[in-house]
């Protein structure tokens, strides 16, 4: 079955039923060490995960690790251009749940991202990146503890599909010519715009299916959260990219009010409902005026549309959602992408689950991780219906590679997400306690040590892992 790897002789496969993993006590889990700092952070993470499982289950449960290759290691074992060998793909498909370190992607040319390829090959459509604060973590932000968000990033499409053409390439030039001569003039709203002839060209597909399955997962997650966190914010730049990012927003709302109608309220609906709750005799027009402060300046057509919106909401959900019932439901709202970057800093506690397209989520997850202590504290998971691959938010951080100094926290916390996904909560809790107590005791790696006041001597990457284990209690 495999060319250059051998599966562990002990352990069993994780299988999937209705999108959920069915986990044996001794699951075989493939891991990719990763390039760059992978050589530091993976051994540290593996040690912490094994120690937590051993302590929590006393041998009853144990992970059988299966080393598989990707990136630079694969190149060495399998030969030139074999960055993502078939063995690795076969193993991940076979065992269903895997964990990986970061993999290098060259800029401006060369191979396309192996990280992205794994997500697309296994249809891991939801990239889940929680950003929460561990007390004592130094942060450039004044109130990092107020940020507790989970980014649900669409993981398979958008510009990450990688359909693009280099400037000056034959196909790229043909495409520009067809667009300039035929397709743009055939679309009146584009006026006389033309694409500069010396452009590179990329395609940004955003599908209804891809958007809605991501938002579905985000809402399902929000349903499980405590009342003050039952919120999903659709993040988009739909004012500019109307038919891709704007459509993402519209499809998100459409899904929320169709599949989750009895459990969801949109922000605008909540305004309309609460206006009536506060003043039962409020006319439809006055209600619309309160929802839209610029109502009186609108054209009569637009005013009529808004009044119709108020009427439709009250007619359709006043009984089911009115009189405060909406207050215990999941609130779905939306924010424009540039605004959300400042909102998570100025109003961090007003956000919970952030549903995004691929590129926005990529940017936003690094920015949110910075608030709670940096990329060393940013875990992640790539989740599909029949496969999951856990990986940190950060990359290979090459300048720190092999120095035993980088923070393994984000891979360790990705491991915590994996344990929780497996249902091994006791082991996950031990690690969260150990990591939290190590940080609270100022036992941290260079990235956090340099921000602490007064400064502390940093722990090595491997020493931080040991400190976490000691703090299991």
Ligand X SMILES: NC(=O)C1=CN([C@@H]2O[C@H](COP(=O)(O)OP(=O)(O)OC[C@H]3O[C@@H](n4cnc5c(N)ncnc54)[C@H](OP(=O)(O)O)[C@@H]3O)[C@@H](O)[C@H]2O)C=CC1
Question: Which residues bind to ligand AKG, rule: CB under 6 A?
Answer: 105, 113, 115-116, 362, 393, 395
- The SS3 assignment for 130 reads strand
Is residue 130 a contact point for ligand X (CB under 6 A)?
no
- Binder of residue 116, out of Mg ion, ligand AKG, ligand X, none (CB less than 5 to 8 A by kind): ligand AKG
Among residues 376, 379, 384, 458, the one that binds ligand X under rule CB under 6 A: 376
Residue 158 as a binder of Mg ion (CB under 5 A): the answer is: no
**In angstroms, what is the minimal distance from the CB of 68 to ligand X?**
15
For 275, what's the count of Cα atoms within 13 Å in the CB-facing half-sphere? 21
Beta bridge partners of 422: none
Q: Out of 27, 322, 374, 434, name the contact with ligand X by CB under 6 A.
A: 374
- Catalytic choice (25, 60, 193, 338): 338
40, 72, 362, 447: the active-site residue: 362
Residue 192 marked ligand-binding: no
Confirm or deny that 363 is annotated as ligand binding. Answer: no
| Interacting residues of 378 by C-beta distance below 8 A, sequence separation 6+ | 129, 131, 365, 366, 368, 369, 372, 392, 393, 394, 410, 413
Instruction: Specify the 3-state DSSP secondary structure of 443.
Output: coil
Residue 266 or 382 having the CB closest to ligand AKG = 382
- Contact call for residue 104 and ligand X (CB under 6 A): yes
- Kindly provide the b/e burial profile for residues 194-221, where b requires at least 16 CB atoms within 10 angstroms of the residue's own CB: eeeeeeebeebebbeebbbbbbbbbbbb
- State in angstroms the smallest separation of the CB of 113 from ligand AKG: 3
411 or 419: CB nearest ligand X:
411
Q: Binding residue per annotation — 113?
A: yes
* 397: helix, strand or coil: coil
Q: Bridge partners of 17?
A: 20
Give the CA count within 13 Å in the CB-facing half-sphere of 342: 3
CA 287 – CA 213 distance, rounded (Å)? 33
Asked if residue 276 lies in contact with residue 282, where contact means CB atoms within 8 angstroms, the answer is yes
Q: Which of 95, 125, 133, 160 is catalytic?
A: 160
| CA-to-CA separations, 139 to 199, 315, 467, in angstroms, rounded | 41, 48, 21
Among 203-211, 239-247, 294-302, 359-367, which window interacts with Mg ion (CB under 5 A)? 359-367
For ligand X, the closer CB: 85 or 374:
374
Name the catalytic one among 237, 404, 432, 447: 237
237 counts as catalytic: yes
Residue 153 assigned to a binding site:
yes
Instruction: Examine the residue annotation and report whether 362 is marked as an active-site residue of this protein.
Output: yes
Q: What residues are paired with 16 via a beta bridge?
A: 21
Rounded Cα distance between 268 and 263, Å, is 15
102 makes contact with ligand X (CB under 6 A): yes
**Interface size with ligand X, residues (CB under 6 A):** 19
Task: Tell which one of 7, 103, 332, 444 touches ligand X (CB under 6 A).
Answer: 103
Nearer to ligand X, 73 or 447 (CB): 447
The only residue of 249, 276, 394, 432 in contact with ligand X, by rule CB under 6 A: 394
Smallest separation (angstroms) from ligand AKG to the CB of 314: 43
Q: What angle do CA 308, 309, 314 make, to 5 degrees?
A: 100
Distance separating alpha carbons of residues 354 and 334, to the nearest angstrom:
9
User: Do 360 and 237 form a contact (C-beta atoms < 8 A)?
Assistant: yes
**DSSP assignment, residue 93?**
H
Q: How far apart are the first and last CA of the chain?
A: 43
Phi, psi of 287 (to 5 degrees): -60, -45
| 62 sits in which H/E element | none
Q: Kindly write out the interface string for residues 401-420 of this chain, putting x where it contacts ligand X by CB under 6 A and - elsewhere.
A: -----xx--x----------
Residues annotated as catalytic (active site), given as ranges: 160, 237, 338, 362
For the annotated binding site, the residues are 104, 113, 115, 119, 129, 153, 362, 407, 446, 450
For the annotated binding site for NADP(+), the residues are 104, 407, 446, 450
Catalog residues that contact ligand X under the rule CB under 6 A: 102-105, 115, 374-376, 391, 394-399, 406-407, 410, 447
For the annotated binding site for D-threo-isocitrate, the residues are 113, 115, 119, 129, 153
């Amino acid at each position: 079955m495999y060319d250059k790897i051998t599966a562990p002789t002990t352990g069993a496969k994780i299988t999937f039923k209705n999108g959920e993993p069915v986990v044996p006590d001794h699951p075989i889990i493939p891991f990719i060490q990763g390039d760059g700092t992978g050589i530091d952070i993976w051994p540290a993470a593996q040690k912490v995960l094994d120690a937590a499982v051993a302590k929590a289950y006393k041998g009853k449960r144990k992970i059988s690790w299966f080393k598989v290759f990707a990136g630079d290691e694969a190149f060495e074992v399998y030969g030139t251009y074999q960055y993502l060998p078939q063995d690795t793909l076969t193993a991940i498909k076979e065992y269903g749940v895997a964990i990986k370190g970061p993999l290098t992607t060259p800029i401006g040319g060369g191979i396309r991202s192996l990280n992205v390829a794994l997500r697309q090959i296994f249809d891991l459509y939801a990239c889940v990146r929680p950003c929460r604060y561990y007390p004592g973590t130094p942060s450039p932000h004044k109130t990092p503890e107020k940020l507790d968000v989970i980014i649900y990033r669409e993981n398979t499409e958008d510009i990450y599909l990688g359909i693009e053409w280099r400037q000056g390439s034959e196909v790229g030039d043909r495409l520009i010519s067809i667009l300039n001569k035929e397709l743009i003039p055939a679309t009146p709203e584009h006026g006389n715009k033309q694409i500069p002839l010396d452009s590179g060209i990329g395609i940004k597909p955003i599908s209804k299916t891809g958007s809605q399955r991501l938002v579905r997962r985000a809402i399902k997650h929000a349903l499980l959260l405590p009342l003050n966190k039952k919120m999903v914010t659709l993040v988009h730049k739909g004012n500019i990219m109307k038919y891709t990012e704007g459509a993402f927003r519209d499809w998100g709302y459409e899904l929320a009010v169709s599949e989750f109608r009895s459990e969801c309220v949109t922000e605008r609906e909540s305004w309309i409902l609460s206006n009536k709750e506060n003043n039962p005799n409020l006319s439809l027009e006055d209600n619309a005026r309160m929802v839209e402060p610029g109502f009186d300046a609108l054209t009569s057509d637009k005013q009529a549309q808004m009044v119709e919106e108020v009427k439709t909401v009250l007619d359709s959900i006043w009984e089911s959602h009115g009189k405060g019932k909406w207050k215990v439901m999941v609130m779905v709202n939306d924010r424009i992408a540039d605004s959300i970057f400042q909102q998570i800093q100025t109003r961090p506690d007003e956000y919970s689950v952030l549903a995004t397209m691929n590129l926005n989520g990529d940017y936003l997850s690094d920015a949110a991780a910075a608030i709670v202590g940096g990329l060393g504290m940013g875990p992640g998971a790539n989740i599909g219906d029949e496969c999951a691959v856990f990986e940190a938010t950060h990359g290979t951080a090459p300048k720190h590679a092999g120095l035993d100094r980088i923070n393994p926290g984000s891979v360790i916390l990705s491991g915590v997400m994996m344990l929780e996904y497996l249902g091994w909560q006791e082991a996950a809790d031990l690690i969260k306690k150990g990591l939290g107590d190590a940080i609270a005791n100022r036992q941290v790696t260079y990235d956090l040590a340099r921000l602490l006041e007064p400064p502390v001597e940093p722990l090595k990457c491997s020493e931080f892992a040991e400190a976490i284990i000691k703090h299991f209690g």
